[in-house]
Structure 1
Amino acid sequence: MNICMVGYGMMGVWHSDALIGRDARFHTLVGRRPEAAREFAERYGYARWTVDLDEALADPEVDAVIIASPSETHPEFALKAIAAGKPTLLEIPLAMTLEESEAVVAAADARGVPFGLCHPMRLQPEYGPIREAALSGADPIRQIAGRFYIHRLSNVGATGYHRSWTDNILWHHFAHFVDLGLWLLDFEGELAYSFLGPLHPQTGIPMECILSVETPRNQTLLVSGSYCSRERIYDSLIVTDRQSYRLDILRNRLVTGDGPVEVAPEKDNLALVTQDFVAAVREGRQPAVPGRSVLPAMRVLHAAQMRWDAIHGRQSLPGRRLSD
C-alpha cells in the first residue's frame, strides 16, 4: 500500500515508525519546508517528497493518506484528501471549530472513503475491559478525570523542536480526554461547566482550561489543564464501583487499588491506530475511530468555546484562524 504522509513533526515520525515492517510503502512525504521535507523523506525512505499537497494527491499511485500536519490545517488538508478519493487518517484534532468538523465528516460520508481519526486513547488496551464492564453493568463508572499540565510559554513541542505553529489547549489536548470520557461512558454528552482562561500576554492564547460533563446516570467527566504548569502531568483517573484506575501517560504506569503495573507507552498505542488504519483500507471498512464518532466530543469543545467567545468576543487566535 502506497502511503502519503503529510507532516514531518513528531506525529509524522510516530506514524512512519508504526508502518515499518507493515507491508506499506513510503511513497510520498508532503512538508512545508523543502529542506526539512527532503531530509525526512531520505531518512525514512519515502520515494518522493513535495511541498505541494495537491500534487501528491493527484498521483494515482497513492493509496492512502495520513495527515500529521499542524492542527489548524487539518480540515483543509482532510477535505482535499477526501475529495481526491483517498482513504484518510487524520491526526487529532478533527478541526478547530465544530462547523469545520461537521463539514469534513459530511464530505467523507458523501465520498464513501474510509476516514479515521487518530485517538490513541480509545485503543489503549487497558481501557477496553473497563468500558465493557461498565456498559454491561458489571462495574459502572462513577467518575472520569483527565489532566494535562505542561510549561509552554514558548512555542516548543514535546521533542524540543521550535514549531512554526501554535497549540491549543481546548481543541487539541482536551479533545483527547473529552472523546475518551464520552466513549467510556457511552454518552454523547452535554457541557455542564467550562472555564477557558483569558489571552496570555506572551503567547496570545488561553493557557488554562477546565470543563465538566455530567450524565443522567450521575456520572461525571472532568478535564483540567494548563500550559503554565512547572510540573508535567498527563494522566487519567477512572473511578468505578469496584476499582480505580489511574493511567500515568508520561510514566507508562497504571495504578489501581491493587498497586502499579507498567503499560505500553503512548507511541505504541498510536501505532495501533496507524496499523488499524492500513488494515481498514485493505479490508474496505472504516477505521477503529471513524470520523463521525468524534463529533460528540467536538460539540462539547464547541460549547466551551462559545462560552469563551461570549466573554471575550469571537476572534482568530494563534493556531486557530477563523474564516470570515
Structure 2
Amino acid sequence: MDTVNWGIIGVGNVTEVKSGPAFYKIAHSNLVAVMRRNADKAEDFAKRHNVPKWYSNASELINDPDVNAIYIATPPNSHADYAIEAMKAGKAVYVEKPMAKSYAECIKMLQVAEKTGSSLWVAYYRRTLPAFLKVKELVESGAIGKPLMVNIKLYKQATERNQLPEEMHWHVFPEISGAGHFFDLASHQLDYLDFVFGEIADVKGNAANIGGLYPAEDTVSGTWKHKSGIIGSGSWCFVVDENSEEDYIQIIGEKGEICLPCFSPGNVKVKTAEGIRELTFQNPEHISQNLVQQVVDELRGIGKCVSTGKSAARTSWVLDEMVKEYYAD
C-alpha cells in the first residue's frame, strides 16, 4: 500500500503525545478514525487532532473501509479480542505493550495472524530509541569485550499509598493488566534485552505483595538465561521510599560495563580501562514515532519493523514465568 490509513482503538492518555500524533505526522501515514467507548471523549480527541471520524464502538472502526491498519491502545485485557477481530477483518495491527494479558492470549493472536496473513506488531519502541540503539551497537562492536551478564533494578514509590481502590490505575488490577506494574514496566526492559541478546530460554522468578496496597504483586525478583549464554538477574519493587528509587540496566562484559536508565532521564555510562564515558541522547517528541515509522515502511514494502508479534510474545512468556507462582492459586 502507498498510504497507511490508521484507526486507533482507545484514545486515552498514551495517545495524546507519546504515540497518537506520530500516525498523522509520518509521511504516507494518515489517522482517519479513532474510537473510545465514551463518544464525547472520542469526538474531543478527533477534533483536537483533526481526525475526520470517531466511534464509540470498536467493531465499527475495525470494519470502516477507509481504515487499513489499526493501533490498539486499550488496557491489555482487550488486546487479544480487538487484535483478533481486526486481523480477521483483514487489517494490519499494531498493539500496545504488553502484547496481551497473558502469553496464552499472545499465542492465540499469533495463530490468527498466521491464518489470516495479517501483520502484527507490538509497541516496544525502545528498540528504536537512540540511546538503546547505541548500547546495542556498543555491545555488538565489542566495546566492553565479550558480554557476560546483565542486571536490572527498578524501584519506584507507590502512588497508590494514599488512594482508595477506585482511584487506583488499572495497572494494579490483574484482571485488567495481567499482573501489576511489573508487567507494564519490566516488559520494556526484558523486551530490550531480547533485542540485544536474543531469546530468553530459562526463567525463574519470585513475586510477592509486600505493601498490601492493591491486589497485584508489588515486588519481583528473577533470574534468566538467554540462548546466547548471557545470564541475567533483576529486581523490581513498586512500594519503596523516595530515597530508594532506582532505574537501570547494567550490562557487564569482560572488558567493562554499560549502564543506562530505562525510564528516568539520564546518560548512558560506559566504563572501560580507558575510563568512564557518558553519552547523551535526545528522544523524539512522540516517543513511539521511530517504531511507527518502521511499521509504515514495512506496510509500504520498503523496510522491516523490529518489534513483531513473535518477539513480543517471547517477552510475555518471560513475564508470566516470573510471577506464575504468585498467581498459581
Same fold, TM exceeding 0.5? yes
1:226-265 equivalences in 2 (<5 Å): 226-231=237-242, 232-248=245-261, 249-257=263-271, 258-265=276-283
Return the offset for 1:201.
Answer: 3.6
Length-normalised TM-score, structure 1: 0.84
Return the offset for 1:136.
Answer: 7.2
Paired letter, 1:118: A
Q: Which moved more, 1:86-95 or 1:202-211?
A: 202-211
Instruction: Give 3-state SS (helix, strand or coil) of 1:35's partner.
Output: helix
Contact 1:153 1:203 in 2 (8 A): no
Contact 1:169 1:208 in 2 (8 A): no
Over aligned residue pairs, what C-alpha RMSD do you find? 2.7
Instruction: Give 3-state SS (helix, strand or coil) of 2:221's partner.
Output: strand
Give a deviation string over 1:235-276, Cα, whole Å, max 9, x none.
322222233222223114212223322212386552211111
1:91-110 equivalences in 2 (<5 Å): 91-110=96-115
Return the offset for 1:207.
Answer: 1.0
1:196 counterpart = 2:202: no
Cα distance in 2 for residues equivalent to 1:67 and 1:123: 19
| CA distance 1:201–1:216, shift in 2 (3 Å) | closer
Cα distance in 1 for residues equivalent to 2:12 and 2:158: 17
Aligned to 2:25: 21
Over the matched positions of the two proteins, sequence identity in percent amounts to: 17
Paired letter, 1:74: H
Give a deviation string over 1:65-111, Cα, whole Å, max 9, x none.
11111122211111111111111111100112111011111111211
Give a deviation string over 1:268-302, Cα, whole Å, max 9, x none.
55221111112211227753211012232222222
Contact 1:78 1:104 in 2 (8 A): yes
Q: Which moved more, 1:26-35 or 1:98-107?
A: 26-35
Contact 1:174 1:223 in 2 (8 A): no
Cα distance in 1 for residues equivalent to 2:169 and 2:35: 16
Paired letter, 2:232: L
Cα distance in 2 for residues equivalent to 1:287 and 1:72: 24
Aligned to 1:140: 146
Aligned length: 305
1:294 counterpart = 2:312: yes
| CA distance 1:110–1:6, shift in 2 (3 Å) | same
| CA distance 1:155–1:87, shift in 2 (3 Å) | farther
Gaps of 5+ in 1: 157-161, 314-324
Q: Which moved more, 1:214-223 or 1:238-247?
A: 214-223
Aligned to 1:159: none
Contact 1:195 1:211 in 2 (8 A): yes
| CA distance 1:239–1:60, shift in 2 (3 Å) | same
Cα distance in 1 for residues equivalent to 2:326 and 2:140: 34
Cα distance in 2 for residues equivalent to 1:19 and 1:265: 17
1:37-48 equivalences in 2 (<5 Å): 37-48=42-53
1:79 counterpart = 2:46: no
Cα distance in 1 for residues equivalent to 2:216 and 2:307: 29
Cα distance in 1 for residues equivalent to 2:292 and 2:228: 34
Aligned to 2:225: 214
